[in-house]
Amino acid sequence: MARSKIALIGSGMIGGTLAHLASLKELGDVVMFDIAEGTPQGKALDISQSGPVEGFDAHLSGANDYAAIEGADVCIVTAGVPRKPGMSRDDLLGINLKVMEQVGAGIAKYAPNAFVICITNPLDAMVWALQKFSGLPKAKVVGMAGVLDSARFRAFLAEEFKVSVEDVTAFVLGGHGDTMVPLTRYSTVAGIPLTDLVKMGWCSKERLEEIVQRTRDGGAEIVGLLKTGSAYYAPAASAIQMAESYLKDKKRVLPCAANLKGEYGLKDMYVGVPCVIGADGIERVIEIDLASDEKAQFEKSVSAVKGLMEACVEIAPKLK
Ligand code: A3D
């Protein structure tokens, strides 16, 4: 059986890390695409030369022409611009929307059967626009944010409780941004909900709230430290987990920005919800009952995403 083909649209900081991780995990051959001449070619060559040392077999190439992504099984999209200190994700909308239009056309022409994972910000609006611009099936176009947001929550909780990150699960709903909704009663240490751990004296309610807030601000904390761009190691690892679940039909249950068809009372929009990812793409959206305060937070997050979608329609009326 031929190796899978993974196309990375955007070969910047996340794109380069994606190529490295996909190769190390032998998920398939990797084509890196970018408008910057030489960048995808140089990174592909560099990573391919780590193959003999690491012991992986993957063919890597770089291109500035969409024809190179022909027949890709998975496309991971990071094309666009990242945040700088002082910018919100929403400030990127105008520039990145135009980029999504080009990327959508390229994928529609050369990789219409691919599973497409969008990472470009502002995530929930960009993945919605990318699906419309590309015309690919809604179950095959998904946004990465929840895996990263819950990984951040898990890392902070594991550090706080001095337990392995492997034993901490976290549940995050809603849009990727300041309004994301980490659900403490569905987040656990070895199956014990955080709400019970507070009762057991592991930490105070106030301390837990601080960790939740740090999770919401997790991206900005890194932007403030890096100064020249945003996070890339953990975002890349998160998207690779989603790609792997699709390619190996693992049916992982992962929080993703998925197209909703009535779930949570919402239609024709993308927002972060728990999903099953398998060979058919998003195979199921899991709908849970929300308590009234969680519902209020989720609705706030949804209305922030809707605001961004309206801003997209103003720039590109054909998205309506
Ligand atoms: P960066 O290192 O700047 O890479 C972006 C790449 O896109 C550059 O190499 C550009 O040359 C390329 N590019 C620009 N325009 C086009 C185009 N029209 N076609 C093809 N390529 C193009 O950024 P990055 O890799 O750090 O981040 C990429 C995106 O991911 C940004 O929008 C970030 O805001 C976003 N991001 C999202 C998350 C989420 O959790 C959703 C996390 C971190 C970053």
pLDDT tens per residue, range 50-81: 999 999 999 999 999 999 999 999 999 999 99
Tell me the mean pLDDT in the region 178-203.
95
Tell me if 150 CB under 6 Å of ligand 1: no
For residues 107-135, average pLDDT: 97
Question: What pLDDT, on a 0 to 100 scale, did the predictor assign at position 20?
Answer: 98
In this predicted structure, the answer to whether residue 225 has a pLDDT above a threshold of 80 is: yes
Residue 86 has pLDDT above 80, yes or no: yes
Tell me how far apart the alpha carbons of residues 314 and 161 are, in angstroms, rounded to a whole number.
47
78 lines ligand 1 (CB under 6 A): yes
Q: What count of Cα atoms within 13 Å lies in the side-chain half-sphere of residue 51?
A: 19
83 touches ligand 1 (CB under 6 Å): yes
pLDDT at 84: 81
Residue 211: the pLDDT is: 96
Question: Residue 179: pLDDT above 90?
Answer: no
* pLDDT reading at 173 higher than 80: yes
Residue 283 buriedness (CB in 10 A; 0-12 / 13-18 / 19+): middle
Which of residues 88 and 239 earns the better pLDDT score? Answer: 239
The pick from 11, 14, 18, 148 for probing ligand 1's pocket by mutation, whose C-beta has the most ligand atoms within 8 angstroms, reads 14
- Per-residue confidence (pLDDT) for residue 300, from 0 to 100: 94
Confidence of residue 111 (pLDDT cuts 50, 70, 90): very high
What pLDDT is stored for residue 265 in this prediction?
96
Residue 255 DSSP SS3: strand
Average pLDDT over residues 16-26: 98
Average pLDDT over residues 88-95: 88
∠ CA 295-297-301, rounded to 5°: 110
Tallying the residues shown for the chain, one arrives at 320
CA 121–ligand 1 middle distance (angstroms):
8
Q: Which of 9, 33, 35 to mutate to test the pocket of ligand 1 (most atoms within 8 A of CB)?
A: 35
Q: Which atom of ligand 1 is nearest to the CA of 230?
A: 26
1: amino acid identity, one letter: M
pLDDT at 320: 87
**Does residue 232 have its Cβ closer than 6 Å to ligand 1?**
yes
Residue nearest to atom 7 of ligand 1 (CA): 79
Q: Are 317 and 286 in contact (CB under 8 A)?
A: no
Closest Cα to atom 15, ligand 1: which residue?
Answer: 80
Question: Looking at residues 93-98, what average pLDDT do you find?
Answer: 94
Cα 90 off chain centre by: 16
CA of 99 to the centre of ligand 1 (A): 10
Q: What is the mean pLDDT of the chain?
A: 96
Residue range 175-180: average pLDDT? 84
The response to whether 214 counts as a known ligand-binding position is no
Q: Which of 11, 119, 148 to mutate to test the pocket of ligand 1 (most atoms within 8 A of CB)?
A: 119
* 87: pLDDT strictly greater than 90: no
pLDDT of residue 79: 98
pLDDT confidence bin for 49, thresholds 50/70/90: very high
pLDDT the model gives residue 297: 93
3-state secondary structure of 179: coil
Catalytic residue numbers read 176
Instruction: Please give the biggest Cα pair distance in the chain.
Output: 58
Q: Is the CB of 176 under 6 A from ligand 1?
A: yes
- Crossing angle, helix 123-134 and helix 93-110, to 10 degrees? 40
Tokens of 80: 């666009």
CA 183 – CA 170 distance, rounded (Å): 8
Confidence at 4, pLDDT banded by 50, 70, 90 = very high
The H or E element spanning position 219 is helix 218-226
- Residue 177 has what pLDDT? 74
For range 243-247, the mean pLDDT: 98
**Above 90 in pLDDT, residue 96?**
yes
**CA-CA-CA-CA torsion sign (195, 199, 202, 204):** positive
Rounded to whole angstroms, the Cα distance separating 135 from 111 reads 12
Q: Ligand 1 centroid vs 17 CA: distance in angstroms?
A: 12
d(CA 260, CA 293): 22
**Which of the pair, 91 or 125, is modelled with greater confidence?**
125
207 is in an annotated binding site: no
- Rounded mean pLDDT, 138-151: 97
pLDDT band at 85 (very low <50, low <70, confident <90, very high): confident
19 Cβ inside 6 Å of ligand 1: no
- What pLDDT was estimated at residue 106? 98
**Would you say the CB of residue 238 lies under 6 angstroms from ligand 1?**
no
> From atom 29 of ligand 1, which residue's Cα is the shortest distance away?
120
